[in-house]
């Protein structure tokens, strides 16, 4: 799969939005020289390994406009989603990241692209974050924590009707089994279009046992 073709043909990404994705990619390469945003060996395949990998979430929630991304780090997937939603009125993505160097990167990309993000430089479980993300449509996280911990973070909004799209690699079956010991939930698995063996866990109706 050619990354730009997937974005333009499958996701119908405009030329202007592609320019903003290029700015994001350039910024990530620049900042990577001073802080570790992504695994160094993935930079050569940045578009397929990271940008397309995150952009595919749009297809799973095409009507969603308000997102919250936990542990945003390099803006994956939240900042990529925000750039893709830039043309939609009322779109907003909350980027939750407590690391100050990483939030500086996120602010730099926001300035360069005009992405509709609100950067919350707090821990996920803080009252500040939990009060701001009330009413979101989708919660995301990528390579952040086991499902059980993600459920602790996202329970208030998922119990109110939001969905979660958690990006996972191999071992997801064990994580689901562990989470089922303490939680009742509906989960659908979607195979990644860009990473063999990777899975997006689509979670709804989360409640503690």
So what's the pLDDT on residue 6?
A: 94
So what's the pLDDT on residue 166?
A: 98
* Helix orientation angle between 172-179 and 147-158, rounded to the nearest 10 degrees: 60
Candidates 147, 34, 27, 37; CA nearest to 99 is: 37
So what's the pLDDT on residue 21?
A: 98
- Mean per-residue pLDDT for 117-125? 97
**pLDDT interval class at 197 (50, 70, 90):** confident
**pLDDT interval class at 82 (50, 70, 90):** very high
So what's the pLDDT on residue 171?
A: 87
Range of the domain at 55: 3-208
Q: Supply the CATH number for residue 160's domain.
A: 3.40.50.150
Read off the pLDDT of residues 49-62 as tens digits, 9 standing for 90 and up: 999 999 999 999 99
- Mean per-residue pLDDT for 28-40? 96
Structural domain count of the chain: 1
Candidates 38, 141, 33, 66; CA nearest to 96 is: 141
Q: Mention every residue, 6+ apart, whose C-beta is less than 8 A from residue 191.
A: 198, 199, 200
- Whether residue 195 is predicted with pLDDT greater than 90 in this model: the reply is no
- Whether residue 136 is predicted with pLDDT greater than 90 in this model: the reply is yes
- Mean per-residue pLDDT for 150-167? 95
Length of the chain: 209
pTM comes to 0.96
70 with 124: CB under 8 angstroms? yes
**pLDDT interval class at 170 (50, 70, 90):** confident
């Amino acid at each position: 799969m050619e990354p730009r073709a997937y974005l333009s043909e499958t996701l119908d990404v405009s030329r202007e939005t592609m320019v903003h994705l290029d700015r994001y990619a350039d910024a990530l390469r620049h900042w990577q020289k001073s802080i570790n945003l992504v695994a160094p060996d993935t930079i050569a395949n940045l578009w397929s390994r990271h940008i397309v990998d995150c952009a595919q979430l749009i297809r799973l929630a095409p009507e969603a406009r308000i997102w919250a991304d936990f542990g945003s780090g390099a803006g994956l997937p939240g900042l990529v989603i925000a750039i893709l939603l830039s043309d939609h009125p009322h779109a907003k993505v909350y980027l939750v990241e407590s690391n100050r160097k990483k939030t500086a990167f996120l602010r730099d990309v926001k300035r360069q692209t005009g992405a509709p993000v609100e950067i919350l430089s707090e821990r996920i479980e803080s009252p500040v974050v939990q009060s701001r993300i009330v009413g979101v449509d989708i919660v995301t996280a990528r390579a952040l924590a086991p499902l059980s911990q993600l459920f602790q973070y996202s329970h208030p909004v998922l119990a109110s009707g939001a969905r979660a799209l958690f990006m996972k690699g191999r071992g997801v079956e064990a994580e689901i089994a562990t989470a089922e010991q303490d939680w009742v939930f509906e989960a659908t698995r979607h195979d990644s279009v860009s990473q063999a063996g990777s899975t997006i866990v689509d979670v709804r109706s989360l409640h503690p046992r």
